């Protein structure tokens, strides 16, 4: 999006510090330093000082009270404020023009590339409106060109650093939430996805299926062929799960060891079909392994058929997996519906016999 805001909390603090710093600065430059003062001028600058400090305090400690659009127009407000103050004080010095650095840095840190270009263009225009009338054409051209180039280079550098920081953050997030061997979600990430899927299912009424599986005799594969082949078997299963997880919201995870899970927005029939497809893909892609295609034991549970919460769904799927193993491995087992809960008040009273 061309005007998308990034990090509203950081943007609100940046605006707050600008306003709370601009207030005292305006008091010093407009009231204390000038040799000649007028009552009207003093009142104006004092009023503006309190307004800026109050607005800064609001942005810092009550940002939710500020309309969101303000964070998008903040750099333009800053440009206008700097330009008006420089014209009002007839100050075209380098120090005064450096205040344009704030809107440039703000836009480069929190706003899109389109807004960055617009900010630099408006800074250049604002600077031209100050230096040309006050310094004249010859000297004004030099100051205007220097400041424009400096602000443009600042934008490019900060934007590049921001992009590098975002890429690094994406890498760190991937490392934090993905299993390093297979690339699927780790337990921490999957638990969060499961909780969100169950919550959504309660709102919409759509079923959610949880498939829990592990590789049959995985320890034997490691002992017979080495851990390298065992890792390849894990990768074959993970890739097959990713291929079968065709739904937009389907999630594949590795809980640890040779245990995998797949979260699907489907019913019992769809989950059973996915289990059959998974075995087919593993057989086709795992034939090149020295140990042959790894066998799978699979347990399936569906919400709301077998559980009502994320914890219950995980327990039901685990129980189905245990049943598949007990039945001879290489099987798919569906969880059983939970036993009905009886109200104690509705239970029949025990018969009382006489002595």
**Whole-angstrom distance, CA of residue 146 vs CA of residue 144:** 6
Out of 179, 214, 216, 258, pick the active-site residue: 258
Q: How many helices (H) and strands (E) does the chain have?
A: 12, 5
**Whole-angstrom distance, CA of residue 211 vs CA of residue 298:** 7
Q: What is the pLDDT of residue 1?
A: 47
What are the pLDDT digits (tens) for 24-34? 877 887 788 77
Residues in the chain: 355
CB 300 within 8 A of CB 320: yes
Q: Which CATH class is domain 187-334?
A: alpha beta
Q: In terms of pTM, does the model score above 0.85?
A: no
What are the pLDDT digits (tens) for 256-285? 899 999 999 999 999 999 999 999 999 999
Reply yes or no on whether 258 is catalytic.
yes
Q: What is the pLDDT of residue 41?
A: 79
- Could you state, in order of their start, the residue ranges of all structural domains in the chain? 8-176, 187-334
Average pLDDT, the chain: 87
Res 345 pLDDT > 70: no
What are the pLDDT digits (tens) for 285-336? 988 899 999 999 999 999 999 999 999 999 999 999 999 999 888 899 999 9
- What are the backbone angles phi and psi of residue 329, rounded to the nearest 5°? 65, 170
The two three-digit tokens of residue 177, written as one number: 């939430």
CB 185 within 8 A of CB 193: yes
């Amino acid at each position: 999006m061309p005007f998308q805001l990034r990090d509203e909390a950081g943007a609100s603090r940046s605006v707050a510090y600008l306003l709370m710093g601009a207030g005292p600065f305006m008091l010093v430059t407009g009231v204390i330093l000038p040799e000649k003062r007028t009552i009207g001028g003093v009142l104006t600058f004092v009023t503006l000082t309190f307004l800026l400090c109050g607005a800064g305090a609001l942005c810092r400690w009550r940002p939710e009270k500020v309309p969101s659009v303000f964070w998008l127009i903040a750099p333009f407000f800053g440009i206008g404020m700097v330009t008006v103050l420089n014209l009002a004080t007839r100050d075209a010095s380098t120090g005064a023009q450096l205040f344009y650095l704030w809107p440039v840095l703000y836009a480069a840190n929190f706003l899109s590339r389109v807004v960055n270009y617009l900010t630099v263009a408006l800074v250049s225009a604002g600077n031209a409106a100050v230096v040309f009338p006050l310094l004249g054409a010859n000297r004004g051209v030099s100051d205007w060109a220097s400041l424009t180039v400096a602000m443009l280079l600042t934008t490019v550098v900060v934007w590049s650093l921001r992009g590098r920081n975002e890429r690094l953050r994406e890498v760190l997030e991937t490392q934090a939430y993905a299993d390093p061997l297979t690339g699927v979600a780790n337990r921490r990430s999957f638990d969060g996805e499961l909780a969100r899927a169950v919550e959504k299912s309660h709102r919409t009424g759509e079923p959610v299926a949880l498939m829990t599986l592990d590789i049959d005799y995985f320890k034997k594969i490691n002992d017979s062929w080495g851990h390298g082949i065992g890792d390849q078997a894990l990768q074959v299963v993970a890739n097959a799960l990713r291929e079968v997880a065709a739904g937009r919201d389907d999630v594949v995870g590795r809980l640890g060891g040779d245990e995998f899970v797949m979260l699907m927005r489907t019913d019992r029939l769809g989950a059973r079909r996915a289990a059959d497809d998974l075995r087919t893909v593993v057989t086709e892609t795992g034939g090149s392994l020295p140990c042959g295609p790894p066998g799978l034991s699979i347990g399936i549970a569906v919400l709301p058929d077998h559980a009502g919460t994320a914890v219950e769904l995980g327990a039901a799927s685990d129980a189905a997996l245990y049943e598949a193993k007990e039945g001879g491995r290489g099987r798919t087992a569906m969880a059983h519906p939970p036993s009905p809960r009886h109200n104690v008040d509705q239970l029949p009273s025990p018969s009382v016999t006489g002595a």
